[in-house]
Structure 1
Amino acid sequence: MKLLALLAGSSALASAVMVPQAWADEAPADGHVQPSSQIVVTAPFQRDRLDILSGVSVVQGEELAQALRSTLGETLDRFPGVSATSFGPNASRPVLRGLQGERVRILTDGVGAFDVSNTSADHAVAINPLLAERIEVLRGPATLLFGSSAIGGVVNVIDKRIPRQIPDEPVHVDMIGTYGSAADERSVGGAVDVPLAGKFVIHADGSYMKTGNLRVGGNVLAPVARLTALANAGTEDEDQSAEGISFAENAALKGRLPNSGAETWTAGVGAALITDSGNMGIAYSRYDSLYGVPVRYAVRPGEEQEGPRLDVAQDRLDLRAEVETGGGLLKSIRARAGYASYRHFELEGDGAIGTAFYNKGLEGRLELVQADRGAWKGASGVQYFSRDFNVIGDEAFLPKSSTQQLGLFTLQQIDLGALKLEGGARYEHTVAQAFPTGDQPQFFGGKRTFDTLSASAGASYGFAQGWRLGVNLSRTARAPSAEELFANGPHAGTQAFEVGSPDFKVERATGLEAVLRGQGAGFNLEASAYYNWFDNFIYEDLTGEVEDGLPVYQFGQAKARYYGFEVQASATLAKLGGMDLVADGLADYVHAEVVGIGPAPRIPPLRVQGGLALNGKNVDLRGEVEWSDSQNRTTAFETQTASFTVVNAQVNYRPWGNDRPLSFALSANNIFDVDARRHASFLKDFAPLAGRDIRITARASF
Structure 2
Amino acid sequence: MRGIDRTVSLSVLLLLSCATPSLWGQAGRIEGVIVLKRTGDPFHNVVVHLEELGRTTQTNHDGRFAFDNVPPGQYRLHAHADIALTDAFETATVGAGETARVKLELDLATVREKVTVTAAGIPQSVFETFQAVDARNSFDLAAQISPTIGETLANRPGNGIAMRSFGPGTGRPIVRGFDGDRVLVLQDGIPTGALSSQSGDHAELINTAGLDRLEVVKGPATLLYGGSGVGGVVNAITRHHAFHEHAHRGLRGYLSGTGGSANGFANGAGGFEYGVKDWMVWGGGGGQRSGDYWTPIGRIPNSDTRLSSGYGGLGRYGNKHFFSLNATYDSGLYGVPFSHLLHGHEDDHEKEEQHHGRSRRLAAGPHAEEPDHEHELARTELDASRQAYQFSWGVKNPSGALENFVLRLNYSRWRHDEIEVADDGHRQTGTRFDNRQFLWRGMFEQARRGGLTGRFGFWGMVRDYKAAGEEALAPPVDQQAFALFALEELNLERVKFQFGGRLEHNRYVPGPAQQPFPKRSFTGVSASSGVHIGLWQGGAFLANYNRSYRAPALEELYNRGPHVGNLAYEIGNPGLKPETGNGIDVSLRHQRRRAHGEFNLFYYDFNNFVFPFATGEREEGFQVVRFAEAKSRFYGTELNLGLGLHRYLWLHLGSDYVNAQEKWQEIPLPRIPPLRGRASLEWNWQGLRVEPEMIVAARQRRTFPGETETPGYAVFHWTASYTISRGHFVHQFALNAFNLGDRLYRNHSSFIKELAPEIGRGVRFTYRVRFY
- TM-score normalised by the chain length of structure 1: 0.87
> Partner of 2:274 in structure 1?
194
Out of 163, 168, 175, the residue aligned to residue 255 of structure 2 is 175
> Partner of 1:215 in structure 2?
294
Are 1:275 and 2:318 counterparts? yes
Q: Could you tell me how far apart the structure 1 residues matched to 2:345 and 2:619 are?
A: 17
Instruction: Give runs of aligned pairs for residues 123-162 of structure 1, distance below 5 A.
Output: 123-140=202-219, 142-160=221-239
> Partner of 1:65 in structure 2?
142
Moved more, 125-134 or 257-266: 125-134
Aligned partner letter, 1:182: A
The answer as to whether partners of 1:161 and 1:269 remain within 8 angstroms in 2 is no
Q: Could you tell me how far apart the structure 2 residues matched to 1:678 and 1:181 are?
A: 20
Q: Could you tell me how far apart the structure 2 residues matched to 1:315 and 1:39 are?
A: 26
The answer as to whether partners of 2:566 and 2:751 remain within 8 angstroms in 1 is yes
Q: CA deviation at 1:148?
A: 1.1
The answer as to whether partners of 2:220 and 2:229 remain within 8 angstroms in 1 is no
Q: CA deviation at 1:618?
A: 2.1
Name the SS of the counterpart of 2:332 in structure 1. strand
CA separation of 1:410 and 1:658: change in aligned 2, threshold 3 A: farther
Out of 429, 432, 448, the residue aligned to residue 372 of structure 1 is 448
Q: Could you tell me how far apart the structure 2 residues matched to 1:21 and 1:274 are?
A: 26
Q: Could you tell me how far apart the structure 2 residues matched to 1:687 and 1:528 are?
A: 33
Unaligned runs of 5+ in 2: 1-81, 91-103, 356-376
The answer as to whether partners of 2:603 and 2:633 remain within 8 angstroms in 1 is yes
Are 1:585 and 2:650 counterparts? no
Q: CA deviation at 1:99?
A: 0.3
> Partner of 2:712 in structure 1?
643
- Deviations along 1:270-293, whole A, 9 cap, x unmatched? 111123445311111111111101
Aligned partner letter, 1:617: Q
- Deviations along 1:447-471, whole A, 9 cap, x unmatched? 1000110100111211111111010
The answer as to whether partners of 2:325 and 2:390 remain within 8 angstroms in 1 is yes
Moved more, 144-153 or 486-495: 486-495
> Partner of 2:540 in structure 1?
468
Out of 166, 172, 185, the residue aligned to residue 265 of structure 2 is 185
Unaligned runs of 5+ in 1: 1-16, 219-254
Are 1:204 and 2:286 counterparts? no
The answer as to whether partners of 2:249 and 2:274 remain within 8 angstroms in 1 is no
CA separation of 1:140 and 1:599: change in aligned 2, threshold 3 A: closer
Q: CA deviation at 1:28?
A: 4.9
Instruction: Give runs of aligned pairs for residues 184-583 of structure 1, distance below 5 A.
Output: 184-196=264-276, 198-218=277-297, 255-296=298-339, 297=341, 302=347, 307-325=379-397, 327-349=399-421, 350-437=426-513, 440-441=514-515, 444-575=516-647, 580-583=648-651
Q: CA deviation at 1:53?
A: 2.2
CA separation of 1:476 and 1:351: change in aligned 2, threshold 3 A: same
Are 1:628 and 2:700 counterparts? no
Q: Could you tell me how far apart the structure 2 residues matched to 1:563 and 1:378 are?
A: 30
The answer as to whether partners of 2:346 and 2:622 remain within 8 angstroms in 1 is no
The answer as to whether partners of 1:41 and 1:47 remain within 8 angstroms in 2 is no
CA separation of 1:67 and 1:633: change in aligned 2, threshold 3 A: same
> Partner of 2:110 in structure 1?
32
Q: CA deviation at 1:217?
A: 2.8
Name the SS of the counterpart of 1:64 in structure 2. helix
Moved more, 304-313 or 70-79: 304-313
> Partner of 1:18 in structure 2?
83
Q: CA deviation at 1:162?
A: 6.4
The answer as to whether partners of 1:161 and 1:270 remain within 8 angstroms in 2 is no
Q: Could you tell me how far apart the structure 1 residues matched to 2:398 and 2:522 are?
A: 38
Q: Could you tell me how far apart the structure 2 residues matched to 1:58 and 1:515 are?
A: 17
The answer as to whether partners of 2:579 and 2:610 remain within 8 angstroms in 1 is yes
Cα RMSD (Å)? 2.1
> Partner of 1:667 in structure 2?
736
Name the SS of the counterpart of 2:202 in structure 1. coil
Name the SS of the counterpart of 1:599 in structure 2. coil
> Partner of 1:248 in structure 2?
none
Moved more, 352-361 or 279-288: 279-288
The answer as to whether partners of 1:18 and 1:32 remain within 8 angstroms in 2 is no
CA separation of 1:114 and 1:481: change in aligned 2, threshold 3 A: same
> Partner of 2:59 in structure 1?
none
Moved more, 520-529 or 650-659: 650-659
Using CA pairs below 8 Å that are at least 6 residues apart, which structure has the higher relative contact order?
Answer: 1
Aligned partner letter, 1:285: T
Percent of residue pairs identical: 32
Q: CA deviation at 1:596?
A: 2.5
Aligned partner letter, 2:229: A
Q: CA deviation at 1:48?
A: 2.4
The answer as to whether partners of 2:220 and 2:232 remain within 8 angstroms in 1 is no
> Partner of 2:49 in structure 1?
none
- Deviations along 1:313-358, whole A, 9 cap, x unmatched? 1111012233221632101101222111111110011310011111
What is the number of residues matched between the two proteins?
A: 639
Q: Could you tell me how far apart the structure 1 residues matched to 2:201 and 2:727 are?
A: 40
CA separation of 1:34 and 1:22: change in aligned 2, threshold 3 A: closer
Name the SS of the counterpart of 1:308 in structure 2. strand
> Partner of 2:685 in structure 1?
616
The answer as to whether partners of 1:183 and 1:211 remain within 8 angstroms in 2 is yes
Moved more, 672-681 or 634-643: 672-681
The answer as to whether partners of 1:54 and 1:528 remain within 8 angstroms in 2 is no
Aligned partner letter, 1:595: K
Q: Could you tell me how far apart the structure 1 residues matched to 2:519 and 2:459 are?
A: 21
CA separation of 1:91 and 1:288: change in aligned 2, threshold 3 A: same
Q: Could you tell me how far apart the structure 2 residues matched to 1:82 and 1:463 are?
A: 28
Q: Could you tell me how far apart the structure 2 residues matched to 1:620 and 1:657 are?
A: 18
Aligned partner letter, 1:50: F
Q: Could you tell me how far apart the structure 1 residues matched to 2:751 and 2:497 are?
A: 41
CA separation of 1:21 and 1:524: change in aligned 2, threshold 3 A: closer
Moved more, 306-315 or 140-149: 140-149
Name the SS of the counterpart of 1:446 in structure 2. coil
Aligned partner letter, 2:559: A
Are 1:56 and 2:133 counterparts? yes
The answer as to whether partners of 1:180 and 1:186 remain within 8 angstroms in 2 is yes
Aligned partner letter, 2:539: W
Q: Could you tell me how far apart the structure 1 residues matched to 2:765 and 2:283 are?
A: 25
Q: CA deviation at 1:257?
A: 0.9
Q: Which has the larger radius of gyration?
A: 2
Q: CA deviation at 1:42?
A: 4.3
> Partner of 1:83 in structure 2?
162
Aligned partner letter, 2:434: Y
Q: CA deviation at 1:55?
A: 1.4
Name the SS of the counterpart of 1:149 in structure 2. helix
Name the SS of the counterpart of 2:555 in structure 1. helix
Q: Could you tell me how far apart the structure 2 residues matched to 1:323 and 1:21 are?
A: 31
CA separation of 1:530 and 1:658: change in aligned 2, threshold 3 A: farther
Q: Could you tell me how far apart the structure 1 residues matched to 2:87 and 2:639 are?
A: 29
Q: CA deviation at 1:307?
A: 3.0
Q: Could you tell me how far apart the structure 2 residues matched to 1:306 and 1:555 are?
A: 32
- Deviations along 1:169-204, whole A, 9 cap, x unmatched? 3x43311111121210111011122224x1211111
Name the SS of the counterpart of 1:65 in structure 2. helix
- TM-score normalised by the chain length of structure 2: 0.80
Name the SS of the counterpart of 2:155 in structure 1. coil
- Deviations along 1:51-101, whole A, 9 cap, x unmatched? 222311110032111232111101111241100112211001110000011
Q: Could you tell me how far apart the structure 2 residues matched to 1:540 and 1:636 are?
A: 10
